[in-house]
Structure 1
Amino acid sequence: MPCRRKLRLPDFDYRGCHRYFITVCTDAKRPLFGNDTLVKVVLDVLAEESGKFDFTVWGYCFMPDHLHLVLEGKTKNADMPAFIRTFKQ
């Protein structure tokens, strides 16, 4: 299995009022997002979890095997790694 590149900035604090472009891949890059029902469930989870973690979702784009997100932290407590970790569960 190929190693994933580390795409994070080494000394950047990923908490607070920052903007992010995030790509979230499906497990084993399976084309799960061709299913409209699953996309609706994911959108509901995204709306709920983004609120809990103080993020605004400015945009999203579902592709068959991944999801693009444009996010912005609304407060200094907006924790991007914690949000993504919880969202992906």
Structure 2
Amino acid sequence: MGAHDAQFTDLHRRSIRLRDYDYSQGGAYFVTICAHHRACLFGDVIGDGVELNTLGCIVEDEWLRTPAIRPQVTLDAYVIMPNHFHAVLFIDGDRAHPVRAYCNTPLHKNTPADHVPSLRSPSQTIGAIVRGFKGAATAKINRRRLTPGDPVWQRNYYEHIIRGDDDLGRIRAYIALNPRHWALDRENPAAHKKRLPNGSLMD
């Protein structure tokens, strides 16, 4: 495994959410979402690419619909792997309009009575974008396979705030090369199987 691979090996395996960071503000984000129990639901890696099955195509279609649902979002590089999904997206801060306080949002006890704070709508955050995508894809996948209510995704997801062009370039390269490195990917169930002396995988 090269230095480039090592840099991103654990990037999508731990939450790195920053306390008090506004995830609806403008910027670039790298997200990873894993299938429930890391089951290989979405297709197979063939050579240096991924051949999506019907469920994988549903995932792709739902992701590509995101900007139509949330115009402040611009999609960038992405890859759907057999059991997980990586993507880069941009949030346009100028289009993520602030909204007034919600009716049940309490004001600070020292806040003047006539003060109405400006808050970001929860529907514009990274968390809301991911939840909406996961929910829509889950509903369509379960209709397709006749498994109402079954989980498709892990509950959590992972995100990384992209810091500049160099960071973006490295992440785009990581996404592009992900299928090529599937044999060594920790998300690949076969990578965890023990090898026999002849090199074959033990079931």
Instruction: Tell me, yes or no, whether TM beats 0.5.
Output: yes
Between the two structures, name the one with larger relative contact order (CA 8 Å, sep ≥ 6).
1
**Structure with more strand by fraction:** 1
Q: For 1:58 and 1:9, how far apart are their aligned partners in 2?
A: 22
What letter matches 2:66 in structure 1?
E
Displacement of 1:5 in angstroms is 4.5
1:87 to 112, 115, 133: 133
Structure 2 gaps of 5+ residues are: 1-12, 44-51, 98-123, 136-203
Count the aligned residue pairs: 86
1:40 to 57, 60, 68: 57
Q: For 1:5 and 1:23, how far apart are their aligned partners in 2?
A: 10
Q: State the identity %.
A: 35
Q: For 1:29 and 1:66, how far apart are their aligned partners in 2?
A: 7
Q: For 1:36 and 1:83, how far apart are their aligned partners in 2?
A: 24
Secondary structure (helix, strand or coil) at the match of 1:88 reads helix
Matched, 1:19 2:28: yes
Aligned to 2:189: none
Q: For 1:83 and 1:55, how far apart are their aligned partners in 2?
A: 9
Aligned to 2:38: 29
Secondary structure (helix, strand or coil) at the match of 2:26 reads coil
Pick closer, same or farther for the CA change 1:52–1:16 going to 2, 3 Å.
farther
- Consecutive aligned runs of 4 or more in structure 1 exceeding 4 Å deviation: none
Aligned to 1:70: 88
Q: Does the 8 A contact of 2:33 with 2:86 survive in 1?
A: yes
Structure 1 gaps of 5+ residues are: none
RMSD of aligned Cα (Å):
1.8
Secondary structure (helix, strand or coil) at the match of 2:32 reads strand
What letter matches 2:130 in structure 1?
I
**CA-to-aligned-CA distance 1:24-77 (integer Å, 9 cap, x gap):** 101111011214222221111112233312211101111111000000013324
